[in-house]
Amino acid sequence: MESPVPFLHGDREVIDVLCRRHAARSTPGARTDEHRVALVIGGGGMRGAYVAGMLRALDRAGLVPAFDEVYGASSGGFSGAAFLTGDAAACAASYPEDLCTDVFINMRRLGTRRPVVALDHLVNDVLGERKPLAWHALGHTPAPLRVVATDAADLTAHTLEGMETVADWQQALRASAAIPLLAGPPIPWGGRRWVDGSVAEPLAMARALRGGATHVLVLLCRGSDDLHHDADAGLSLWARALDRLVPGLGSLAQGSRRYGADLRLVTDAAHPDRGPGHLAAIGPARSAGMGALCVDALRVGAAVRIGDESAVAALDAVAA
């Protein structure tokens, strides 16, 4: 069924299932239906502010228990962790309040031994002290968090396994967000070295379907205006050159093309990777005019509000 809101893509059945579960107060492991519903959260650096606002709205609507698993890559991994541990509102607030600073992102560090994006500041200062994440709860939430990262050796995406301690989860989330030249060198885990999950798999929708999900809700950090007009164009010459210099970096820089290609899995019911699954995606209703490394608190705060409003409008549209 076509949605009356242009930023709600795909099959409204996904949100219908979530709302029915909320009404029935069902929880993972104690369902009254046979569905398996996955939430997929992509990365995007500071564009993740849109998604953080969406997660805040989903949490406020009481929909956290309606999901059976959450897939997150890069900033989406951190946001997914906050969503599952009850910290979605604090995560949304952290974008304009704690991350819009040159302590976290500083282009003057490019070419030095210090990363442009300081993941240690995010993990230790922001999520450790200012707005503490319930790290100890990860691995024990009713719905599990699946952290997606890219193997630096062959640039293939994998779901990281074996996290047991707080330090393990912090290392895994760092691995999912590491970007050479920007956010630090590859991170070791399980005998391999890992970089940002978005390099190989911007949105883990097909992964969720292969894992048994019958319904998938995807949260996008790019609206229709931020997608490339030709998703089949492939990487530009400068992006391919950047990939040769730093494997994966050019692919990340061309996110607008890759998001557009991935979105086809949601909008094309005949897509070969889709099968019988139901997919829906919520994107920002409008643009705040910001990029992945934006530290303008006004723009970033606007992105959080836009994401929140977009999720609310999508839920209301289906309820109506």
Beta bridge pairs of residue 219: 41, 282
Radius of gyration over every alpha carbon of the chain, rounded to an integer in angstroms: 18
Beta bridge pairs of residue 150: 157, 195
What would the DSSP string read from start to end of the chain? ---SSTTEEE-THHHHHHHHHHHHT-BTTB-SS---EEEEE---GGGHHHHHHHHHHHHHTT-GGG-SEEEEETHHHHHHHHHHTT-HHHHHHHHHHHSSSTTTB-GGGTTSSS-SB-HHIIIIIIIIIIS---GGGTT-SSSPEEEEEEETTT--EEE-----SHHHHHHHHHHHH--TTTT-SPEEETTEEEEEGGGT-SS-HHHHHHTT-SEEEEE-SS-GGGS-S-GGG---HHHHHHHHHSTTHHHHHTHHHHHHHHHHHHH-TT-TTTTT-EEEEE--SS--S--TT---HHHHHHHHHHHHHHHHHHHHHHH-
Residues annotated as catalytic are: 74, 196
Indicate the pairing of strand 69-73 with strand 145-151.
Answer: parallel
Single-letter residue type at 11 = D
Structure tokens at 184: 């630090």
CB 75 within 8 A of CB 182: no
Distance from chain centroid for Cα 144 = 15
